[in-house]
Structure 1
Amino acid sequence: GVSANIMDAAAPVWIDGIGDIADQYDAYLVDLWGVVHNGSVAFPWAVRALEELRRRGKPVVFLSNSSRRRETNLAALAKLGVRRELFADLITSGDEAWRALHGVSCQDRPAAVGLPRAVLAAERILVFGNGADDAQYMAGLPGRCSVPLAEAEMLLARGCAALSKAEGEFAPATWHEQETVLSAAAERGLPMLVANPDSVRPDGADSPMPGRLARRYVELGGPEPHFIGKPHGAVFQTALLRLSELGVPEGARVCMIGDSAWHDVRGARAAGLDVTLLCS
């Protein structure tokens, strides 16, 4: 796989654009929400930066904490006008969680390696959903189904908008309703898998995200959750493996571009990567 070289820097350096650093690195990992788009539109300056990296032959892999699957995000990017030729691949925490539960080989999916049997073997899952594609997400997992709390063997946190009521059935849920379920699950000591470690949505209202569910679960006495996604190391390992498969050589200089000090900077630095932090 690729092991990145860290460029020495005594202090952060301000840059005016991607052109200032493009040739200092061999490949880039790039966050999506807040960096490439805001959920509604792709940022023109981000598209121009991707075009410049492509012109210079720098492979880009998007690395996102989206709880949705890779294909869902690819379709969303196409709709936003982010052309497929501008990036080499896309890795999401939601897709890595799905692959771990599906049983995809752990050899090239580090996220599954650290998960306990209680998670990997659970068949009946209480899902905290995003309210959009929850039924579709679960339908692709053979041998597993979404259930209410009373039947659950584990919790899957991929959103804060809905709760599973039966196989393939989800209902909107308030934060108070989710806290009530969390409290009862904590009493039973059910394991939790978090498919998006973000705590708040960057929507101007600080809407809660699965990371906040995880924190609240521990406060209520539940066991420590298991996280897939930034800043946790496994998803960075997966991204570096993917770059290696794309032909990026051992010892390449890899830079993470993101907008979160907690998820992008913290995670990338722990993985041995330089970081470009967008400040807005």
Structure 2
Amino acid sequence: MDAPRAISGLGEVADRFRGYIVDQWGVMHDGRALFPGVQEVFRELRARGGRIVLLSNSGRRAAVNDARLREMGLDPALVDGSVTSGEVTWQALALRAEPPFSRLGRRCFLLTRFGDMAVVEGLDLELVEDVAEADFLLITGVDSPDKTLEDYLPIVERAAARRIPAICSNPDIVAPVAGRLALAPGAVARKYEELGGPVTYIGKPSPRIYRACLALLDGIPRDRILAIGDSLAHDVKGARNAGLASCFVASGVHREELPADLPEPELVARVRELASAHGAVPDFVIRRLLW
């Protein structure tokens, strides 16, 4: 596999691309505040005719996610649209046009973030409080960044005993929160899978979520679209599967393996080594999203 090219800012390669699919957590913000320089990058891309779609494995709906970004200070005029795995999941549950959604029952046990009910609002579902009564699990979030996997074991063990289907609308295993890595819904879903429960993941690296992004970048050839993210397993692999170039941000979920003071040649070598395990080496590596 070829080694990625290290860049210090996106301006070094912006003339090669017209469309951008940009991850959020770990790239744009830490869950609480935008990182310095992010809006400058977006302004520069827009000034050059670039189109920007924000992509997140957040289990929340797109409108909720957009409102949170506005609260952080993001100018919505800088982006062309946003896609969240929660939104794609909501649409699939509403339409029930294809498996596994067409085969799901209506009784749902919901795991959500901070009591967010927008993820099921407007859907023909009966929410149950006892997992023993559920037709399926909907795993969209964890209800506190202080929770551990052990806190969810009683739920997944009872569900796995019945092998009811689970839909996970956020495949992330960890999420960067205020300078540390917290439990994410994908870890709960993975544990359920280990216990024998069937899981359908919606989100990166699944092709379904990239189709939603590409629809918002209609008219731009795939070889002129750059996906930017901090997860080798999700962002880089998902981009590769979708036929897109990728730029890996080293200061996100892999930051403990890629210290900020790592010399550039060693950074490139280590990224290549880590990425080879996922079968998807990024085209570019950048320490953080800067122009």
State the TM-score, normalized to the length of structure 2: 0.79
In 1, Cα distance between equivalents of 2:134 and 2:57: 25
Amino acid at match of 2:85: S
1:3-42 maps to which residues of 2 (within 5 A)? 10-42=2-34
Q: How far is the alpha carbon of 1:238 from its aligned partner? A: 1.4
Which of 145, 164, 168 is residue 126 of structure 2 equivalent to?
145
State the TM-score, normalized to the length of structure 1: 0.82
Instruction: Give the match's secondary structure for 1:28.
Output: strand
Contact 1:118 1:191 in 2 (8 A): no
Contact 1:158 1:210 in 2 (8 A): yes
Is 1:129 matched up with 2:103? no
Deviations 1:32-77 (A, max 9, x none): 1111111111122111100100100100000111111111111111
Residues 176 and 13 of structure 1: is their aligned pair in 2 closer, same or farther, counting only changes over 3 Å? closer
Instruction: Give the match's secondary structure for 1:90.
Output: strand
In 2, Cα distance between equivalents of 1:210 and 1:125: 16
Which of 88, 92, 112 is residue 84 of structure 2 equivalent to?
92
1:82-231 maps to which residues of 2 (within 5 A)? 82-103=74-95, 113-119=98-104, 122-133=105-116, 135-141=117-123, 143-148=124-129, 149-161=131-143, 175-203=149-177, 204-223=179-198, 225-231=199-205
Contact 2:132 2:158 in 1 (8 A): no
Q: CA RMSD in A?
A: 2.1
- Unmatched runs of 5 consecutive residues or more in structure 2: 252-291
- Unmatched runs of 5 consecutive residues or more in structure 1: 1-8, 107-112, 163-171
Contact 2:85 2:170 in 1 (8 A): yes
Deviations 1:201-241 (A, max 9, x none): 22354322111111111222222x00100011110111112
Contact 1:269 1:275 in 2 (8 A): yes
Q: How far is the alpha carbon of 1:10 from its aligned partner? A: 4.1
Contact 1:139 1:145 in 2 (8 A): no
Contact 1:26 1:252 in 2 (8 A): no
Amino acid at match of 1:23: D
Amino acid at match of 2:113: N
